[in-house]
A and B are shown apart, each in its own frame.
Chain A
């Protein structure tokens, strides 16, 4: 079977009629949606950044790189991914351990992150792809729904890197990696009994987390969410200013590059994590609806591809990538609008930042691989 998989991959192997998109292993609908999103993102980023052209140039080249990587990834057969998955995951965890040790020896994680040339922590970003990959591989070889033993080992696989990431400390990324793992478990058919148990356990753990695990600044973020004006010059400042930006945008917005909150620098982090506030202020609720529409279409397309995947691996990985993408959107837009505590989550493909683009595009490359595989295997 492995052989036939491999042969199928060769372009000249069969007489099956293929469209140009299938030959290229590209899903044209998804590509179009991603291009729209990237274009929209650049449009907003131009206004949100201080040095418009430099930021555009930088982010544009990241997009070029990202789309290139996506196309390359799309060419790789899924069986290869399954082969690489344990290595990729293992390497990620090892690096996390190294970071933990290195971070302790030097002056703490924060210092480490500021070393130039090393953009915001690589290993945890690797795990955003690595963890779903290894779990999808794990369940691919097992019958579903997973049995207790498999649930147990998959939880170990999830919690090991998550614990290391939270320890850094990077609660936001940790929670995102955790959720990506749990999404795989859920899509694999984790029994409702487990889910109910996990939810009650989480509820019980809440107070413990609050008092013993969370850092002061994390607690502050939660408290500020409840009442931003309690600390309006400190932690509350961002959220007050971002809500003001969003709210003052109204239906039609103040106009591109006309947002006073963002252009006059009242809004911090306007070009990165808080870029949705710039979009809301300048393009209004209309602009938000357009953005949401593109996001939801991308997620829908991803889920549609996953649904049509022939194998468990493709279904699990594809759906997890799509749902995780939505989670990013929800967490970012939720935190900027004051629904969720402020954690460092960028708005996918809109916020400035290269690493996020590359990681997301690897995921979409995989989705494309899954989508084109389906076509071929239908014969």
Chain B
């Protein structure tokens, strides 16, 4: 109704105040309704969350704060027979970064790189891991295996590096490094395949919070005993995963302690005696079947494998021509050579192909009837006349055994040698054992689809040809001989948590004429300590009686009429030197088998190693040093 008054009197307005009031009133009513409606919306929303969905969100909230945490058990300690720790679990410290609490990640990483001398690749890997984490405030490891100095450096600088934390984890430690790598083995991170197997076995609960398991050796074969039982706890954590309080707890049970027959001093003596050469030494305590020395050289540091070996380190081990990863004592297969002769002689005596007094004349070669091929003796010109079983063993007369083998045939030979454990795994409590070859017609047909030739038997008679044995098999065969037919399955573990492991007896070898044992053993005594023995130089001055047998295994075939010349051959093509022994002769305590790869000869390379091992057991070791036996022998030197 009024004109716009503003152009002549800005602050005086002619207006219909009552209609404006009504207008305001209507707007106010509208607003009241709207605000009321919106308030109801809010209250309904909160009612829905707090009352209707209360249970759901309570569960959610508890899932946030309550975490079931595994308490991994401490893995069982492995110790030698004297209680010296060979494997244990030690805390290892890992540097972790919680990104949410870091103010400047680049700065923090730069500082840590300087403090800990990290290379760029490590930092790059960390950034990769950071991308893959599952939830905020989760710590991401930057560096594991921190040493004391690194921990100290972090502690000193921690005030200016928020979000940097050091966490502890139990990590397996092998204080003797490479000394026991092939017997004790090592643990490593459980891989996907192993995890699937654990799952398939329904044993996931047994590994709750456990990330490592035994991969080879004792660590693997006694995995169940060493593992322990994981504990668990429910804890309340904040968003950073920091534990604020424990709601309930079930304690873990630590793994069992394994006491081995192995002995640090024996082991060291054997390794020292090998002096860096490739080879294996196995020594067995005869009363128990316990393996007191188990050496395979070269070896490696098992600690490398525990938290994951670097690609560089692994390929160095894998590609080394010395094969440090090969466990020669159970997986190295060698022709036994002459070390098998005592057993073959025993077979001949037992089956009456020869008598103890039966003698041959050795012209230096042997020919199968109707064949021109000459099987030669190792000694040029032969050993001459008057070679009986005793001398054949003492001097390692090949011709005697060619003839004996030829008369006996491969079937009887196989039949007799089998119960000594040749050609089959010994069942030692280690992983990765190979079975070797005890040749037979069946084996050759299966392996080569060929018939057995008489010449094969001749070679087999001196432990060549198709024969393959592991040092462990040789040691068992020697121990069985020493015990006159009583065969015990070799084992490394003496006691589990203080409870002795009982020896397992294999079927014994019963001779129709037990005196045949004496013939063979006397021959072996002659080898080591007789006037005509092949290893007499090594054992003549030993303060105990020894029965032994040298052996030399050809690495390359030597053509007819060609003379073996070690100097000409490359080192890798030289013969392997072998030696088996037990002592004392009349009351044997220990048997040993030694192989020195490319050692040229058994007497020169392997016998001195055996001497050191026997010395360590019978002389050097106070607790086990049997008083030197009186040297009464029926060896008839």
Binding site for B on A (CB under 8 A): 1-2, 141-145, 186-187, 189, 233, 237, 241, 243-251, 260-261, 264-266, 280, 284-285, 288-289, 292, 296, 299, 303, 306-307, 312, 315, 319, 323, 326, 330, 333-334, 337-339
Which A residues touch B136, using CB under 8 A? 233, 237
Stretch in contact with the other chain, from B30-38, B284-292, B327-335, B577-585: B30-38
Q: Are the C-beta atoms of B61 and A248 separated by less than 8 Å?
A: yes
Q: Are the C-beta atoms of B65 and A247 separated by less than 8 Å?
A: no
B560 CB-CB contact with A under 8 Å: no
Q: In the complex, A288→B47 CA distance in Å? A: 10
The 4 A-B residue pairs with the shortest CB-CB distance, nearest first, are A247-B57, A248-B61, A264-B238, A247-B49
26 A-B contact pairs sorted by A residue (CB < 8 Å): A145-B23, A187-B28, A189-B24, A233-B136, A247-B53, A247-B60, A248-B61, A250-B50, A250-B51, A250-B54, A260-B64, A260-B236, A261-B65, A264-B64, A266-B65, A280-B46, A280-B50, A288-B46, A292-B43, A303-B28, A306-B28, A312-B20, A319-B24, A326-B38, A337-B42, A337-B46
B84 CB-CB contact with A under 8 Å: no
B532 CB-CB contact with A under 8 Å: no
Which A residues touch B573, using CB under 8 A? none
4 further A-B contacts with Cβ under 8 Å, apart from A260-B61, A333-B46, are: A142-B6, A264-B64, A265-B239, A315-B24
Contact of A141 among B11, B23, B31 (CB under 8 A): B11
Closest Cβ of chain B to A258, distance in Å, is 12
Q: Are the C-beta atoms of B46 and A186 separated by less than 8 Å?
A: no
B203 CB-CB contact with A under 8 Å: no
Considering the complex, which residues of chain B in the window 261-300 have a beta carbon less than 8 Å from any beta carbon of chain A?
none
Q: In the complex, A266→B64 CA distance in Å? A: 8
Contact of A285 among B4, B6, B47, B236 (CB under 8 A): B47
Which A residues touch B57, using CB under 8 A? 243-244, 246-248
Most buried by B among A237, A246, A247, A306: A247
The interface bits of chain B over 8-38 (1 if a CB of A lies within 8 angstroms of the residue's CB, else 0) are 0011111110001001110110011001001
Closest Cβ of chain B to A332, distance in Å, is 10
Count of chain B residues with Cβ under 8 Å from any Cβ of A?
48
Q: Are the C-beta atoms of A303 and B11 separated by less than 8 Å?
A: no
B135 CB-CB contact with A under 8 Å: yes
Which B residues touch A288, using CB under 8 A? 43, 46, 50
Q: In the complex, A312→B20 CA distance in Å? A: 8
Q: Is the interface of B mostly helix, strand, loop or mixed?
A: helix
B114 CB-CB contact with A under 8 Å: no
B367 CB-CB contact with A under 8 Å: no
B563 CB-CB contact with A under 8 Å: no
Q: In the complex, A302→B273 CA distance in Å? A: 101
Inter-chain contact total with CB atoms closer than 8 Å: 145
Most buried by A among B41, B60, B61: B61
Q: In the complex, A229→B31 CA distance in Å? A: 36
Q: Given A251-B50, A339-B41, A141–B238 Cβ distance below 8 Å?
A: no
Binding site for A on B (CB under 8 A): 2, 4, 6, 10-16, 20, 23-25, 27-28, 31-32, 35, 38-39, 41-43, 45-47, 49-51, 53-54, 56-58, 60-62, 64-65, 135-136, 236-240, 244
Closest Cβ of chain A to B163, distance in Å, is 14
Q: Are the C-beta atoms of B46 and A265 separated by less than 8 Å?
A: no
Which A residue's beta carbon lies closest to that of B15? A143
Q: Are the C-beta atoms of A284 and B50 separated by less than 8 Å?
A: yes
Which B residues touch A187, using CB under 8 A? 24, 27-28, 31
Closest Cβ of chain B to A193, distance in Å, is 15
Which B residues touch A334, using CB under 8 A? 41-42, 45
Q: In the complex, A288→B39 CA distance in Å? A: 12
Closest Cβ of chain B to A324, distance in Å, is 11
Q: Are the C-beta atoms of A141 and B6 separated by less than 8 Å?
A: yes
Q: Are the C-beta atoms of A245 and B15 separated by less than 8 Å?
A: no
Q: In the complex, A98→B635 CA distance in Å? A: 114
Which A residues touch B237, using CB under 8 A? 264
Q: Are the C-beta atoms of A248 and B60 separated by less than 8 Å?
A: yes
Q: Are the C-beta atoms of A143 and B16 separated by less than 8 Å?
A: yes
Q: Are the C-beta atoms of B32 and A303 separated by less than 8 Å?
A: yes
Q: In the complex, A242→B25 CA distance in Å? A: 39
Q: Are the C-beta atoms of B35 and A299 separated by less than 8 Å?
A: yes
Contact of A264 among B15, B50, B236 (CB under 8 A): B236
Q: Are the C-beta atoms of B60 and A244 separated by less than 8 Å?
A: yes
Q: Given A143-B15, A187-B24, A319–B31 Cβ distance below 8 Å?
A: yes
Q: Given A1-B11, A280-B50, A292–B238 Cβ distance below 8 Å?
A: no
Which A residues touch B62, using CB under 8 A? 260
Contact of B10 among A141, A233, A260, A315 (CB under 8 A): A141
Which B residues touch A143, using CB under 8 A? 2, 4, 13-16, 20
Q: In the complex, A144→B21 CA distance in Å? A: 10
Q: Are the C-beta atoms of B39 and A292 separated by less than 8 Å?
A: yes
Closest Cβ of chain B to A295, distance in Å, is 8
Closest Cβ of chain A to B387, distance in Å, is 86
Q: Are the C-beta atoms of A307 and B27 separated by less than 8 Å?
A: no
Q: In the complex, A251→B58 CA distance in Å? A: 12
Which B residues touch A189, using CB under 8 A? 20, 23-24, 27
Which A residues touch B12, using CB under 8 A? 1
Which A residues touch B32, using CB under 8 A? 303
Q: In the complex, A14→B402 CA distance in Å? A: 145
Which B residues touch A333, using CB under 8 A? 42, 45-46
Which B residues touch A315, using CB under 8 A? 24
Q: Are the C-beta atoms of B64 and A250 separated by less than 8 Å?
A: no
Which A residue's beta carbon lies closest to that of B52? A247
